């Protein structure tokens, strides 16, 4: 399907599915064009500083307040925030690819499983790291998340995401950001589809500052794409599922929630193709900190100490001289949840597979496995292309607490620590 997009991260977009549907010169005229209802959605407080302020005006056939009563809905595997009762061992953890459940038909919402989370949605801090396993499309069913925005990283299968503001198609290698509070549904045109989601309860993801890098590079603003306005031309009712304070609810709607004929504003869903990431690396020596690979950041109240950084490890050249080129052995203040979209990750050539995950919490030592260490210690240091690979990291200042699904049901790799067991004391003074 060939869709049209508007470009630029957080731009002041304006888009009409029917020409003339946007009021001119004001947001809420006494009667809007075509008798549409104006409705505002704000992603920040009204008084947030101008450069952070995000809101959008929608012109729709019915306001979203027209809905039936909510009743509770169960979703035990999509949990919210860190479970402080879990006695979490200070160990590195890894999961084999999370398998599809045999003979189960689940859509993007029901197929969501929290693997690890931190913080508290009501305190607007922290993130959840989830996987989705979707085998069926959402039809007359829509979803809205009041707890956070969703950063979606497909690993297998394209997603066709219909939102109130228009339609996005997102393939593995691309990502989508769906704002808190925006209604959407997801179709899976390729059949069984899997991927990762960061549910961000904190400040909205934004592009990182570039400091001495300058005014270009990393993820460029123009490569973020927002949908054009589109609406469904029928009045069939939907079931609306809502996540609100960590609990789930459902209500019937009177017609389709996808009834926005025009919108303008700077709060919108977006997609981004990671092949457009302008990767920066060392062209002299040493392995740089992975912060140079940050695509988006959700800041916390402490400068430089993110609620969450979204970091990618895309195809790139390694040219450093006299350098151990993979990541060094390390332990950090920040906690690292990683996933693999395709290929091999240079620090873990075996054991870390596409669709799997790893977790290295604050101050948990980790680094290249034995095989990676051996190879990189003896490699001929000619320029080397790391190709056909895309790993990523949700990095947070808060410790990720694995869920009981992750600890008891998901394929936890009980052998993970063995990947370092053979690293010998090779110290010799001759």
User: Smallest Cα–Cα separation from 181: which of 299, 297, 55, 79?
Assistant: 55
**Considering the rule CB under 6 A, would residue 154 count as an interface residue with ligand OMD?**
no
Report the relative pairing of strands 239-244 and 141-145 from DSSP bridges: parallel
State the residue number with the nearest CB to Fe ion: 336
Q: What distance in Å separates the CA atoms of residue 158 and residue 352, rounded to the nearest whole number?
A: 22
Measured from the CB atom, the residue of 331 and 409 that comes closer to Fe ion is 331
**Considering the rule CB under 6 A, would residue 306 count as an interface residue with ligand OMD?**
no
- The alpha carbon of residue 112 and the mean position of all alpha carbons in its chain are separated, in whole angstroms, by 13
Residues β-bridged to residue 310:
296, 394
Site track 332-361 with ligand OMD (rule: CB under 6 A), x = hit? ----x----------x------------x-
Q: What is the DSSP letter of 266?
A: S
Residue among 287, 360, 378, 414 flagged as catalytic: 287
Measured from the CB atom, the residue of 164 and 346 that comes closer to ligand OMD is 346
- The alpha carbon of residue 411 and the mean position of all alpha carbons in its chain are separated, in whole angstroms, by 22
User: Smallest Cα–Cα separation from 117: which of 199, 204, 180, 202?
Assistant: 199
Site track 239-278 with ligand OMD (rule: CB under 6 A), x = hit? ----------------------------------------
173 in the Ramachandran plot: left (φ > 0), alpha (ψ -120 to 50) or beta? left
Interface residue with ligand OMD among 33, 252, 290, 343 (CB under 6 A) is 290
Examine the residue annotation and report whether 287 is marked as an active-site residue of this protein.
yes
Measured from the CB atom, the residue of 149 and 336 that comes closer to ligand OMD is 336
Measured from the CB atom, the residue of 136 and 366 that comes closer to ligand OMD is 366
Helix (H) or strand (E) holding 184: strand 184-187
Q: What distance in Å separates the CA atoms of residue 362 and residue 305, rounded to the nearest whole number?
A: 13
Instruction: Establish whether 378 is an annotated binding residue.
Output: no
The two three-digit tokens of residue 275, written as one number: 């092949």
The two three-digit tokens of residue 423, written as one number: 């690293």
Spatial contact of 7 and 225, defined as CB atoms under 8 Å apart? yes
Interface residue with ligand OMD among 227, 269, 314, 327 (CB under 6 A) is 327
State the residue number with the nearest CB to ligand OMD: 327
Terminal-to-terminal C-alpha distance of the chain: 67
Site track 323-362 with Fe ion (rule: CB under 5 A), x = hit? -------------x--------------------------
Measured from the CB atom, the residue of 119 and 327 that comes closer to ligand OMD is 327
Interface with ligand OMD (CB under 6 A): 290, 327, 330, 336, 347, 360, 366, 393
Q: Would you name the residues annotated as active-site residues? A: 287
List the binding residues for Fe cation: 330, 336, 366
List the binding residues: 330, 336, 345, 366
């Amino acid at each position: 399907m060939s869709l049209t997009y508007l470009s630029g991260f957080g731009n002041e977009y304006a888009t009409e599915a029917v020409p003339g549907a946007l009021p001119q010169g004001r947001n809420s005229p006494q009667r809007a064009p075509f008798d549409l209802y104006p409705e505002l959605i704000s992603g920040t407080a009204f008084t947030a500083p101008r450069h952070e302020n995000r809101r959008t005006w929608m012109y729709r056939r019915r306001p979203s307040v027209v809905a039936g009563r909510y009743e509770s809905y169960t979703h035990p595997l999509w949990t919210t925030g860190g479970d402080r009762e879990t006695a979490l061992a200070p160990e590195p953890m890894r999961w084999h690819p999370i398998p599809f459940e045999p003979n189960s038909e689940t859509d993007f919402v029901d197929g969501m499983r929290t693997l690890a989370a931190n913080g508290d949605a009501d305190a607007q801090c922290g993130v959840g790291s989830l996987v989705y396993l979707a085998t069926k499309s959402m039809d007359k069913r829509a979803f809205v998340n009041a707890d956070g925005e969703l950063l979606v990283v497909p690993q297998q299968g394209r997603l066709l995401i219909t939102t109130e503001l228009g339609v996005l198609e997102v393939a593995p290698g691309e990502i989508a950001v769906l704002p808190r509070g925006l209604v959407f549904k997801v179709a899976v045109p390729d059949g069984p589809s899997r991927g990762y989601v960061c549910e961000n309860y904190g400040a909205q993801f934004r592009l990182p500052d570039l400091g001495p890098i300058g005014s270009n590079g990393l993820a460029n603003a123009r490569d973020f794409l927002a949908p054009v306005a589109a609406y469904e031309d029928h009045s069939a009712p939907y079931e609306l599922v809502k996540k609100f304070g960590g609990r789930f609810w459902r209500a019937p709607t009177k017609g389709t929630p996808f009834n926005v004929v025009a919108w303008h504003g700077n709060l919108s869903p977006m997609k981004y193709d990671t092949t457009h990431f302008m990767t920066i690396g060392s062209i002299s020596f040493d392995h740089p900190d992975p912060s140079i690979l940050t695509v988006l950041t959700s800041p916390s109240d402490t400068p430089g100490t993110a609620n969450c950084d979204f970091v990618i490890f895309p195809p790139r050249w390694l040219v450093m001289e006299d350098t151990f080129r993979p990541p060094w052995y390390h332990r950090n203040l920040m906690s690292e949840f990683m996933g693999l979209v395709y290929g091999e990750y240079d620090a873990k050539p075996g054991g870390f597979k596409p669709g799997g995950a790893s977790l290295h919490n604050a101050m948990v030592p980790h680094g290249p496995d034995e095989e990676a260490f051996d190879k990189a210690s003896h490699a001929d240091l000619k320029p080397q292309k790391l190709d056909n690979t895309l790993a990523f990291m949700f990095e947070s200042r808060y410790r990720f607490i694995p869920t009981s699904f992750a600890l008891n049901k998901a394929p936890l790799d009980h052998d993970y620590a063995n990947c370092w067991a053979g690293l010998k004391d090779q110290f010799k003074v001759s």
